[in-house]
Amino acid sequence: MLYRALIGKKLTPEQIAYFSDPDWIRANACHIYKDKVNILAELTVTIDGVEQPVVIKWFGWRNRISRWLSPVMRSRAKKSWDASYSLLKCGVKVPEPITVYTRRRFGFIQRNFLLTEKVENYTLARRLLRDPDEPEKRKELIVAGIADMIRKIHQASMVHHDLTPGNFLVNNNDPQNIIIVDLNRLENRVFIRRSLKMYDIAKLNLCDCNLGREHSGCRWILFLKCYAEKEFAPNRIALQTALSRRKIKRRIKAMHKPKKSNKSGKSE
């Protein structure tokens, strides 16, 4: 049994077929931002008779378990669609969702993609925060803007699960005008413990000190004060613990990562 679900603006059958094909996306994209398990690319398409630039996120499979469990799960494209509207309701800016499509066969997800608006005049927060030529004052405004956005997300009982600087877009004219992307892992919860909030935040990697030493200009200190100044002390302790947990987790992951082989076949 084949099941198709299209929500949002209507697409033609030909467009659905094209957007469901990763090879077609690669061949026709104006720009490809990512192409690993998922594909994130810019396309120019005609929707409702209007030609416009859009961003497509085509979702692949990370493992077989997810594929086997897909009959009892929303597609990741639909999760991103739902997350977009949840965030918009609590005042968090995201790229405007246009259309989401999921195709299933006997309940198993075969294809799913999401179309959103292409945002103009924005730069990745990661690039700006790492740029030595970017004024420090602008960097502080970016950190403050990100802190305000994450506070709204957590106050709405949501956890993003992938709060890296690469998932924030900063307006080139207003450093506190920020958009958050990559929403398919966002989770709604009845209650969020402080430890989970801080672990969610720890991925930002705002400062190399990891709160392990006192120094001027610490972006973690600035972030925590903008995030919830009245809860600064307990949040600092919880964040320091979360940063230590992430450091240990990365070390364990690196130990189990297979070594690359050189051309002679020997491990490096």
Domains and CATH numbers, the chain: 2-117 (3.30.200), 122-254 (1.10.510.10)
What local confidence, expressed as pLDDT, does residue 261 receive?
56
Is the pLDDT at 104 greater than 80, yes or no? yes
Instruction: Concatenate the DSSP letters of all residues of the chain into one string.
Output: -EEEEEEES---HHHHHHHT-HHHHHHH-SEEEEESSSEEEEEEEEETTEEEEEEEEE---S-HHHHHHGGGS--HHHHHHHHHHHHHHTT---PPEEEEEEEEETTEEEEEEEEEEPPPSEEEHHHHHH-TTS-HHHHHHHHHHHHHHHHHHHHTTEE-S---GGGEEEESS-TT-EEE---TT-EE-S---HHHHHHHHHTT---TTTTSS--TT-HHHHHHHHHHGGGHHHHHHHHHHHHHHHHHHHHHHHHHSPPPB-TTS-B-
Predicted pLDDT at 263: 53
Q: Residue 168 pLDDT more than 70?
A: yes
Q: Give the pLDDT confidence score for residue 247 in this predicted structure.
A: 85
- Compute the average pLDDT of residues 21-47: 96
Q: Mean pLDDT, the chain, as a whole number?
A: 92
pLDDT at residue 156, rounded to an integer = 96
pTM, whole model, 2 decimals?
Answer: 0.88
* Candidate from 2-11, 14-23, 67-76, 247-256 with smallest mean pLDDT: 247-256
